[in-house]
Amino acid sequence: MHCSEARTAISARVDGEELPPDVRPEALDAHLDACADCHGWGERARRLRVLAAALDLA
């Protein structure tokens, strides 16, 4: 899995949307375990999502 593909799937997951049909959740989790960049990116996306919800922007 490429990072760009992983990040599309991560943002879908953070938003509570379906993963892209060609992305298996276990492949995404494996990428997150292996790729520190995407892991950190996902953490930031999640935090931003929580903050936006707290500010009632979402």
If one asks whether residue 3 binds Zn ion (CB under 5 A), the answer comes out as: yes
Number of residues in contact with Zn ion, rule: CB under 5 A?
4
**In the numeric block, which tokens belong to residue 4?**
């760009």
Dihedral in degrees, nearest 10, Cα atoms 48, 7, 13, 51: 0
* Nearer residue to Zn ion within complex by CB, 33 or 58: 33
State how far the Cα of 24 lies from the Cα of 52, in Å rounded to an integer: 27
**Per-residue binder mask for Zn ion (CB under 5 A), 25-44, x = binder:** ----------x--x------
Q: Which residues bind Zn ion (CB under 5 A)?
A: 3, 6, 35, 38
